[in-house]
Amino acid sequence: MANVFTYGSLMCADIMATVSGVSALSESALLRNYRRYAVLDEDYPALIAEAGAQAQGLLYRNISDEGLRRLDVFEGDYYQRCELVVALLDGCQVSAQTYVFRADYRHLIADWPWSFEHFLNVGKSNFENAYLGFQQLPSQG
């Protein structure tokens, strides 16, 4: 079982449940020295290392190996799963699996930050229409 830090579309409990295959409890968390940026022509963000920055997100606990496999498939080639340390609201530090945008694809990143509020108001329905084919994630043997 693993902790997973999410900072974009997976902060929506319904999307996270569809992708991971489970409904997991979450809590607010902060990842220091990383920032969320918009991805050009997409509704989801990129997470990249940036000294002094911070990315707000949610920590989901007890995600199974199958849930991680499903997340890996969903995140695709643009992201690399890394184990990073996030801070909880009470100040505790927790290790979590986090999907970081790969350097090979940095040319796809916009120069403005990604907004969760904008995603909820405008991008979520577009995202669900474009990406909810992940409800039928391929099996891996």
Q: In a 3-state reduction of DSSP, which class is residue 60? A: strand
β-pair partners for 49? 34
Question: Are 42 and 115 contacting, i.e. CB atoms less than 8 angstroms apart?
Answer: no
Q: Please state, in angstroms and rounded to a whole number, the distance separating the CA atoms of residues 91 and 86.
A: 9
Question: Are 8 and 45 contacting, i.e. CB atoms less than 8 angstroms apart?
Answer: yes
Q: Could you state, in chain order, the average pLDDT of each consecutive group of 10 residues for the chain (141 residues)?
A: 96 92 93 97 95 97 94 93 97 97 97 96 84 53 42
Q: In a 3-state reduction of DSSP, which class is residue 9? A: helix
pLDDT, residue 101, reads 98
Q: In a 3-state reduction of DSSP, which class is residue 139? A: coil
